A = this chain, B = another copy of it.
């Protein structure tokens, strides 16, 4: 997608001026959400915005997150407006001027109202979805949840009606005339990799290691 030397300067300028493209289709939005582990939840308490990193997961038209029922911050968001942002960096972008340095990335911003999952069966189903999407098949192998654990866990959701995505994937774009400036320009990819699993001291030899779904890497 690099605008090469044969591209008219006017087109290159146009591309440069709109380097981040907005997307409003659910396929694009869902792909970014489903490829993330972490989101950043924004909410307001006494005119002060807070942004808290937390695991997120999508189920149909809803985006879920959870936390401790003891968290005042989590309880304060119930019924309130929130913004949940998911982002991943794909590459550092180096241009020949400081001004045109950038980052190729994908992000989703979801505006909405935080709703509480009240029903225990619904809460359990949401938590199962959360575990299963990261580690398929794992839920059935776990020690089943206890009522006090379920009570100690608060699950929230918001719908995806006010969701939008932004993607920058065009690499380096210099101002017309800068291409011959004698410094390196291009992209340096960034990637999240899953390392070697480290069992805890109680894991028996030969016990199968859970698979982490690659698409769920942050």
Q: Is the CB of B87 within 8 A of A38?
A: yes
Label chain A's interface by main secondary structure: mixed
Q: Is the CB of B198 within 8 A of A190?
A: no
Q: Is the CB of B42 within 8 A of A87?
A: no
Give the bracket for the number of chain A residues in contact with chain B: 35 or more
A13 CB-CB contact with B under 8 Å: no
Question: How far does the Cβ of A147 sit from chain B's closest Cβ, in whole Å?
Answer: 11
A27 CB-CB contact with B under 8 Å: no
For A89, list chain B residues within 8 Å (CB).
37-38, 218
Give the CA-CA distance A136 to B82 in the complex, in Å: 38
Give the CA-CA distance A85 to B83 in the complex, in Å: 14
Give the CA-CA distance A109 to B52 in the complex, in Å: 8
For A40, list chain B residues within 8 Å (CB).
40, 42, 51, 53, 85, 87
Q: Is the CB of A212 within 8 A of B84?
A: no
Q: Is the CB of A51 within 8 A of B212?
A: no
Contact flags (1/0) for A125-146 with B, using CB distance below 8 Å? 0011001001100110111111
A180 CB-CB contact with B under 8 Å: yes
Q: Is the CB of B47 within 8 A of A81?
A: yes
Give the CA-CA distance A209 to B182 in the complex, in Å: 12
Which among B53, B186, B194 is the interface contact of A87 at CB below 8 angstroms?
Answer: B53
Give residues of chain A (49-83) contacting chain B, Cβ–Cβ below 8 Å: 49-53, 55, 81-83
Q: Please list 15 pairs of residues, one from A and one from B, whose beta carbons are closer than 8 Å in the complex, sorted by A's number.
A: A2-B200, A48-B83, A49-B81, A50-B111, A91-B195, A99-B146, A99-B153, A171-B198, A172-B200, A182-B204, A188-B194, A188-B195, A188-B197, A190-B194, A192-B193
